[in-house]
Amino acid sequence: MPLVKVAKVSELKPGTVIEVSAGGKPYALCNVDGALHALEGVCPHRGGPLGQGSLQGAVLVCPWHSWEFDCRTGENTWDSATRVAKVPVTVAGDDILIDVP
Ligand code: FES
């Protein structure tokens, strides 16, 4: 699986989420108190753009209908059987890279 540079650490402040793209797919990149997490960026409800959502603690809220996912696990906060896939994150200097499938 290739490592793809998607952002700079300086672009992703603690407590924020940004949408990035790699291999033609969107990902949600979250900074939870300095720990970086990447999730596939399409909401399993109706396909909302998770990377354009909001981050509340470790919980990423979909901008379309407010489904919530824990950035650390990808699990929906109401139904742990519903989840979005996590992808590994690597930091090299100021670069953030994700390991895309
Ligand atoms: S599309 Fe994400 S909550 Fe509906």
Condensed to tens digits (0 to 9), the pLDDT of residues 10-27 reads 999 999 999 999 999 999
Instruction: Return the ∠ at Cα 97 (arms to 60 and 89), rounded to 5°.
Output: 50
The C-alpha atoms of residue 99 and residue 81 are separated, in whole angstroms, by 24
What mean pLDDT value characterizes the chain? Answer: 97
Which of 17, 43, 54 has the most ligand 1 atoms within 8 A of CB, as the residue to mutate? 43
Which residue's CA is the closest to the ligand 1 atom numbered 4?
65
Condensed to tens digits (0 to 9), the pLDDT of residues 67-77 reads 999 999 999 99
The answer to whether the CB of 42 is under 6 A from ligand 1 is no
Domains of the chain: 3-99 (2.102.10.10)
**pTM for the full model?**
0.95
Residue where the block lists tokens 């489904």: 67
Largest Cα–Cα distance of the chain, in whole Å?
Answer: 37
Q: Does residue 43 contact residue 50 with C-beta atoms inside 8 Å? A: yes
How many angstroms is it from 1 CA to the middle of ligand 1?
28
The answer to whether the CB of 43 is under 6 A from ligand 1 is yes
Virtual CA dihedral for 40, 42, 43, 48, nearest 10 degrees?
150
